[in-house]
Structure formats: structure tokens, C-alpha cells
Structure 1
Amino acid sequence: MPLIQWYPGHIAKAERQLKEQLNRVDVIFEVLDARIPLASHHPDVPQWIGDKPRLLVLNRMDMIPESVRQGWLNWFAAQGETVYYTNAKQGKGIKPLKKAAQEAGVQMNQRRRDRGMRPRGVRAVVIGFPNVGKSALINRLLGRKVVASARRAGVTRQLQWIRIADDLELLDAPGIIPAKLDTQEDAVKLAICEDIGEAAYDNQQIGAALVDLLVELNFEKILSSRYQLDPQEMTGEEYIEILGNTRYKGDKERATMQLLNDFRKGIMGQIPLELPPTEQVKS
């Protein structure tokens, strides 16, 4: 598969502006894709924010099973991180998130009072990869649609401050992505989940990679039952080709997009592409 890299000019500009604004911010919402929480984490965020409080938001909670959700909660807790699950599309998990931001504001204002400064509303920023649900989350926090939201990468193009309440102001930032994706396995997962611009990859190669990954994660029965085609004795590329021949008159692109959209929209069911890391077995 060709190297997947995607770093359009508007993201480079947004990253520079975001770094300039971070000194005004009190708390960071980092939004991750619950299907791929490790692949959708920007490795530079901890360095950018220093010791500012960070709330990890795993959005699209409805797209992974409850057992996997609990596993990630435990794994992140072991790393000293608290996770907040949301489904921004349906408005689930929003109240605990807003409360956590306000509590961070209380602590911030106590520090201001200790230094003889007047209290003020908390300033938060929502950051994350493209298309992980940042804008939808802001709209839910506000209770009405104020920022554009769509199921594709690159909708938000510039930073804007939005007042949620008297005690909470949010900075909406475009999706940020590393200038270089070092781990191609992660890049493939981002492409499968549509968390990277479609100009970065070939649909048929990503569709084949999805088939291979589902077999690796023991989800092959979903493919067998849905498409009446068992993927176990073939490669992902062969699966796409046979599916195109048997269902779509040889149209491999149409077969690919059916597969990808069925996964992306949750039609295949609750399928995580990453599981919480377990301890290495000692040899």
C-alpha cells in the first residue's frame, strides 16, 4: 500500500494558531474516536498543553461494545487519565463533560483568587483529529447548532471562540493531524474510520485493509453473514474483487464503498478496530 500522508495547508495554519491560543486556555477537551482511541490521539498534544487539565473524550461510544468501553476506561485509568464517553450525534454523555469543565474552572478561579486576581469564566478548547465529532460535541454543549458539522474530514477551517454559558467559553479548532504519520497501521485505521482526508488514500486499498483487519480481530463472521462471502481463505484484495464480481457486476469501487460505508455508519454493528493493550506475555 502506498504511504498515507495528509497535511493540507489549512491544518498547518490551524496548528500554528492553536498553539498561539493555548496560553489563554484553562482546560483541554481532546476528542478521540472510540473505535481507535490510540490511533486518533495526536502525539504532540501533551507537549503543547503542559500541565493544563485535559479531559479525554471518546466520541462515537455507540460504535463499540460495552465490554470494550469498560476495558478502555480501566486502561486509561491505569495511565492516570479519566475518560468521558460521548455520542455527540445523539447528545449522550454531554452533562458529565460540561460538569467536569466547570469543576476545572472552579479550581482555576481558586488559583486566581490565591494570586489576588478576579475570577472569570473557564476557557476550554476542543481539539482532535478531523471528523472525530468536535463540532457536533460543541453544538451539543451549547444546545443548538452554531458550528458546521458533517461526516467528512476538513469541515472546520478556522478557530472561533463560542460562549457556552457565563462560566464556560469554548474554542473550536479545525482538526489537527501530525505533519508526518509515522505509523502506517494507524494511518490505515484513520482512513477506514474517515478521520483523515480522502485525498490521502485509495478507497479499494483501504477497503481491502478493513477486510484484513476484521479477520485479524475475529469479526469475519460479520462479513460472512452480511455479504454471504467468507473472508478467511482469501486476502482483503481478493475479497473486494469477488464481492464486486458477484454483487456489483465487476464494480470493485462500488463494492469497496459499500463495505466502508457499512462500517463507518455502524451498519455492520459495534466494531472496535483497537482493543486496550494487554501486558506482554513474558517468554
Structure 2
Amino acid sequence: MTTPPIQWYPGHIAKAEKALKEQLKLVDVVLEVRDTRIPLATHHPQVQEWLGNKARVLVLNRVDAILPQAQQAWERWFRQQGEQPYFTNAQAGKGVAAVAKAAQQTGVELNQRRVSRGMLPRPVRAVVIGFPNVGKSALINRLLNRRVVESAARAGVTRQLRWVRISEQLELLDAPGIIPIKLNNQLAAFKLAICDDIGDAAYDNQRVAIALINLLQQLGETAADFLPHNPLYTRYELDAVTMTAEDYLHALAEKRHKGDVERTARQLLTDFRKGALGAIALEVPPNA
């Protein structure tokens, strides 16, 4: 049986993308927020095309959800690509001051150019973009030190584009989550679903839970220092080493939920998302 691929492109996102492209003309710097657990899967392929030569600050949020050695490996990799990543835990406010400083630095250069042309300085205009539920609204609320933007642990809460004044030096545009029209890379799509960075109407929980077990098995063999030792056994006292991912999900359902596979799949995904399996990076830097 072939199940349909993961696809999710609600109407409000199509509308938001169109509005965002218009607003980008007014923006000086883009804060691109990605999920540190899956920094490649949460990179929108069209961001560079939209930005042109605008400045960009790369924010890798949820740094608390990965191990320090995984953070160091990603930091090295991004620097090798010529990028400076800023790691944040926006919920707790960690790393947010450095992001604000990086955005404002762009404004210093912008206003030097404006003054040299005989124009008045103005606040730097920044936009926060990224996939749904990667922590954009939490970042904005931390930048402001007050709750002005609705944020929720579900994809697609922000629907409107709006400007928010951060300080005398910085104005911010809060944009809804944007995702590519077509999710061509289905492994990346599974990672988005596992990390809850896409609407749950787009996928089948059991398929996604099996994909998570598969990933954990592969990482355990190829990148053991990116996750705690044997997280599935530690959590459920059931070893996945000798089983296929599908068999493991069914065995876990028998052990925990009287054979209810759907309930088990949901529980497994919730446990991963809430950190009950430990701090786990689902992606390893290429060539690491």
C-alpha cells in the first residue's frame, strides 16, 4: 500500500507568502529562524531568492533540545559555509540579546549610508521568517520583553503581517510561517512532522512515528554523540536494536497501550517533542 506523501500548504500561507514578498521591499534585514534539531529541513529554499542582497541573521532556535556537541558541530559547519549562526532558546530568552545586536548592527551600516546621502537616520526594519512553529513569535516576544505576539505550540497560529516597534533602533515585522508550495524532499517533510513544524492534518502519526524510530536507529549507528545512549530503551525499556521501526512501534503498543498503535505513535511523538527522550538532533552536518 502506498500512502500519500506529506503535503501541507493551507490557503493562509499562500496569501501570507504573497504579502511577505511585498513587505520584503521595505525590509533591511531578515531574521531567518530555523529549528536547531533540523536546521536543513527548516531552511526555505526560496529565502535567498526573496532576499536578494538584503542582510540576513540566521537564528537556530530550540538550542536546549540538542546536545552541546551537536550545537558545536553545527556552529562549525555553518561557519565553514560563511555564515554566523545565532543559537537561541526563545522561550527562556537565551541568546536573544545577541540576535537583537546583530540586527541593529545592520542598521548602523544602513544609517551611515543614509546620512552620507543627506537622508535622516531611521530604525532598522527587520522581518522574522521561518517555517510554522519554529519559535518566531516567542523570539519576537523576547526581543520586546513583553507578550505582543500570539504564540502557541501548534503550527500556523500567526496569520497576519504586522509591524512591531522593538526600540528606537529596530522595527520588526512578524510574518506567518511559510513553507514551500511542494515538499519535494519527503525525508525532510517527515522531520518537519516529527518536530511539529508543520500542521498535523498533513500526515499520518503512525508513519511519522516509524520515521522517528528509523532516524533514531540510524543516528545511534552513525552519529552516536548527537543523542543520548539508546533513548528508546531508556524511556520505554524496550530495545529497538533487533527490530524494524514498524515492528518496534507495534511491540511498544502491545507493551504500553494494549496494542493501540495510533495512541502509541502519538505518545512517542509527544515524548520526543517535549524532550522526554532527551536532547536529540535529528540532523547531522553534511560531511561531519
Q: TM-score, normalised by structure 1?
A: 0.96
Report the counterpart of residue 136 of structure 1 in structure 2.
Answer: 138
Give the SS at the match of 2:75.
helix
**Farther-moved stretch of structure 1 (225-234 vs 152-161):** 225-234
Report the counterpart of residue 58 of structure 2 in structure 1.
Answer: 56
State the shift of 1:230 in Å.
1.0
State the shift of 1:257 in Å.
1.4
| 1:263 partner letter | F
Report the counterpart of residue 263 of structure 1 in structure 2.
Answer: 272
What are structure 2's unaligned runs of at least 5 residues?
221-226
Deviations 1:123-175 (A, max 9, x none): 00000000000000000000010011111101001111101111111000000
**Distance of 1:278 and 1:250 partners within structure 2:** 40
26, 29, 34: which one pairs with 1:27? 29
State the shift of 1:68 in Å.
1.1
Report the counterpart of residue 194 of structure 2 in structure 1.
Answer: 192
Give the SS at the match of 1:217.
helix
State the shift of 1:252 in Å.
1.1
| 2:272 partner letter | F
State the shift of 1:245 in Å.
1.2
18, 35, 38: which one pairs with 1:36? 38
State the shift of 1:236 in Å.
1.6
| 1:231 partner letter | A
- Asked if the contact 2:235–2:276 (Cα under 8 Å) also holds between the matched residues in 1, the reply is no
Deviations 1:176-214 (A, max 9, x none): 000001111100000000001101100011001100110
236, 248, 263: which one pairs with 1:227? 236
101, 110, 113: which one pairs with 1:111? 113
Deviations 1:71-130 (A, max 9, x none): 111111111111000000111001111111111100010111122211100100000000
Give the SS at the match of 1:130.
coil
Report the counterpart of residue 146 of structure 1 in structure 2.
Answer: 148
240, 254, 259: which one pairs with 1:245? 254
State the shift of 1:2 in Å.
2.6
| 1:64 partner letter | I
Runs of 4+ aligned structure 1 residues displaced above 4 Å come to none
**Distance of 1:237 and 1:148 partners within structure 2:** 38
Counterpart check, 1:94 vs 2:103: no
State the shift of 1:278 in Å.
1.0
Give the SS at the match of 1:165.
coil
CA RMSD of aligned residues (A): 1.1
What are structure 1's unaligned runs of at least 5 residues?
none
State the shift of 1:233 in Å.
1.8
**Distance of 1:249 and 1:68 partners within structure 2:** 36
**Distance of 1:100 and 1:247 partners within structure 2:** 48
Q: TM-score, normalised by structure 2?
A: 0.95
Report % sequence identity: 62
